[in-house]
Structure 1
Amino acid sequence: MEKLKKFFGEVKAEAKKTTWPNREELLTSTGVVLFILGVSALYLFLVDLLFSGTLGALLQRF
């Protein structure tokens, strides 16, 4: 029981050290994440399009 009490005490101490981003930092970080998500989606779309077209062409030949 003492270990559990110590654990939650340490959790509370660590939670007090947490700093939250301000509005500007939050919007900037969100923008970066959305940009990377969009670039990744576009890349995967193009790779999928390339592979599906190549595979379709190969299957039509054979």
Structure 2
Amino acid sequence: MEKIKKFLREVFAEAKKTHWPNRSELLTSTSVVVLILAVMGVYFFLLDLFLSGSIRAILKALGVG
């Protein structure tokens, strides 16, 4: 039982050290994440388009597709 109490004391001590972002920091971080997701989504869409077109062209040239 003493180990559990020690563990909980340490958890609460660490929780007090936690820095929670204010509204401005939260909105900035969220905007960065959404922007990166959008850019990566477009990148992978274009990459998929290019690779599927290339594979389709190769297969057509080989007479498979």
TM value normalised by structure 1:
0.91
Identity in percent = 61
Q: Which position in structure 2 is the counterpart of 1:26?
A: 26
Partner residue, 2:50? 50
Show the counterpart of 2:37.
37
Residue identity opposite 2:7 in structure 1: F
Q: CA RMSD in A?
A: 0.9
**Which residues of structure 1 form unaligned runs of 5+?**
none
Aligned counterpart, 1:7? 7
Q: Distance in 2 between matches of 1:24 and 1:4?
A: 37
Runs of 4+ in 1 over 6 A off after TM superposition: none
Count matched residues. 62
Q: Which has the higher contact order (CA 8 A, sep 6+)?
A: 2
Cα distance, 1:4 vs structure 2: 1.6
Q: Distance in 2 between matches of 1:30 and 1:42?
A: 18
Query: Aligned-pair distance for 1:56?
Result: 0.5
